[in-house]
Amino acid sequence: MDDQARTTRIRIALLLGALALFALLYAPQPVLPQFAQEFGLAPGTVALLVSAATLGLAVAAIPLGALAEVVGRRRVMIGALLVAEVLGLLLPWVPVFGVLVVLRLVQGVAVAGLAAVATAYLAEEVGGRNLGATMGLYVAGTTIGGMTGRLLGGVVGDFAGWHGGVLAVALLAAVCTALFVVLLPAERHHQRTPLSLGPLFGGLRAALRDPVLHAPYLVAVLGMGSFVTVYNVLGFRLTAPPLLVPPALAALAFLAYAAGTVTSTLAGRAADRYGRTTVLLSGLAVTALGLLLMLAGNLAVIVLGLVVFTGGFFAAHSVASGWVGVQASPQARSQASALYQLAYYGGSSVGGVVGGASYGAWGWSGMTVLLCCWLAAAAVVVWVTRIRSRRSRTAGAPPAAADAAAASAAASGRSRSS
């Protein structure tokens, strides 16, 4: 198999794997109102079905990332997705809410094996100038999975209850999982290493101490917390007065995920061309704009805001996740990728609960203020990191290089102002 064919096969496999992962991870989200009605729970409590899975993923990301160094990344990703699929097929038959939450926690632990390893796998097996576009395609798979799973689960759930909705998503994920197992090539560039705590903790220290990586970590925490909050409570807002949208039609709002499919791919390419921080800051700004648009009481404007919000978030996530793969040193790449997943899904778990509580306490407007503050804080850290990185490069360069850098910056400024 030549390199181009192998790269294409990797892209298709990871696209399908991401689709299955995110369809399973968020399967209960579109039918949360049905869960709340059947079990007599408040929106903040029933959101545990989503938060438990993302918490499991966050906690398991680093251990499974370390395991992949020992047994191989392909083996961990395939095993993890198979376990998650089996649990997905089991969930519709469980009648006790507490047991559902526990199983969702375990399912989150399982999917961590793919989520925490995929970025490192792509960075080593693809790398080079193709990495931005390939990472964008992988993130596009997460958006397709999120959209398709939520849409399918919501529509089927309106007619067959939450049991039917969750089962339909699991069957879709089963097809994607089977194709993922068949298509994903074994590693060529990764050398397995014996399990050793020294290199593991050394890599973690390196990944934690690199100040440049703090920016994408924070984007993951606050951006994902904002994103999950909106999608957790959206169904409650759309189906309640004064909008009173039928559940099957409310599920169509998840078509907004299509915007993320497009923007994640475009953002990856734009980051390769224009720089990561520029595209990342733009993505955060667009995300906040979408939130503000959703303050409107008009359904059409709310849907437009949701599209803008989703597109902006996935653009930012695509760039931030790719930034980690490039910035981390080779010996810390897996740990940095796992830390990003920890931040991302920890933000989903904790942010989803906090954001849901803010919606219950202050309504949609109060929740919007909180989420905009989160996004602004992430943007400030990215901006500060950008300034410090530029100063560090200029200070470390010889005088001629520093003069050239200054001249280039001035020329760039004149070009942008013209």
pLDDT of 392 > 80? The answer is: no
**376-403 average pLDDT score:** 72
**31-45 average pLDDT score:** 85
Contact 27, 151 (CB under 8 A): no
Structure tokens at 1: 């198999």
> 91-136 pLDDT, tens per residue?
999 999 999 999 999 999 998 888 878 877 887 777 666 666 677 7
pLDDT for the residue 407 = 36
In the chain, what percentage of residues exceed pLDDT 70? Answer: 88
Give the separation between CA 189 and CA 217, rounded to whole angstroms.
Answer: 26
**38-65 average pLDDT score:** 85
In the chain, what percentage of residues exceed pLDDT 90? Answer: 34
pLDDT for the residue 245 = 87
pLDDT for the residue 127 = 61
Greater pLDDT, 2 or 413: 2
Q: With cut-offs at 50, 70 and 90, classify the pLDDT of residue 247.
A: confident
> 165-189 pLDDT, tens per residue?
999 999 999 999 999 999 988 877 6
pLDDT for the residue 273 = 81
Give the separation between CA 280 and CA 303, rounded to whole angstroms.
Answer: 23
pLDDT for the residue 134 = 72
- Looking at the domain 3-185+200-397, which fold is it? Growth Hormone; Chain: A; (1.20.1250)
Greater pLDDT, 4 or 133: 4
pLDDT for the residue 80 = 92
> 68-97 pLDDT, tens per residue?
878 888 899 999 999 999 999 999 999 999
Residue 72: exposure state from Cβ atoms within 10 A (0-12, 13-18, ≥19): middle
Q: With cut-offs at 50, 70 and 90, classify the pLDDT of residue 193.
A: low
Structure tokens at 75: 């083996």
For the chain, the C-alpha Rg in angstroms (whole number) is 21
pLDDT of 158 > 80? The answer is: yes
Q: Report the candidate in 250, 297, 330, 267 with the shortest Cα–Cα distance to residue 32.
A: 250
> 194-245 pLDDT, tens per residue?
666 666 677 777 777 888 888 999 999 999 999 999 988 888 899 888 888 8
Amino acid at 36: A
Mean pLDDT over the full length of the chain: 83
What 3 state SS string does the chain have?
CCHHHHHHHHHHHHHHHHHHHHHHHCCCHHHHHHHHHHHCCCHHHHCHHHHHHHHHHHHHHHHHHHHHHHHCHHHHHHHHHHHHHHHHHHHHHCCCHHHHHHHHHHHHHHHHHHHCCHHHHHHHHCCHHHHHHHHHHHHHHHHHHHHHHHHHHHHHHHHHHHHHHHHHHHHHHHHHHHHHHHHCCCCCCCCCCCCCHHHHHHHHHHHHHCHHHHHHHHHHHHHHHHHHHHHHHHHHHHHCCCCCCCHHHHHHHHHHHHHHHHHHHHHHHHHHHHCHHHHHHHHHHHHHHHHHHCCCCCHHHHHHHHHHHHHHHHHHHHHHHHHHHHHCCHHHHHHHHHHHHHHHHHHHHHHHHHHHHHHHHHHHHHHHHHHHHHHHHHHHHHHHHHHHHHHHHHHHCCHHHHHHHHHHHHHHHHHHHC
Q: With cut-offs at 50, 70 and 90, classify the pLDDT of residue 416.
A: very low
pLDDT for the residue 402 = 37
**Assign residue 417 a region: left if phi > 0, alpha if psi is -120 to 50, beta otherwise?**
alpha
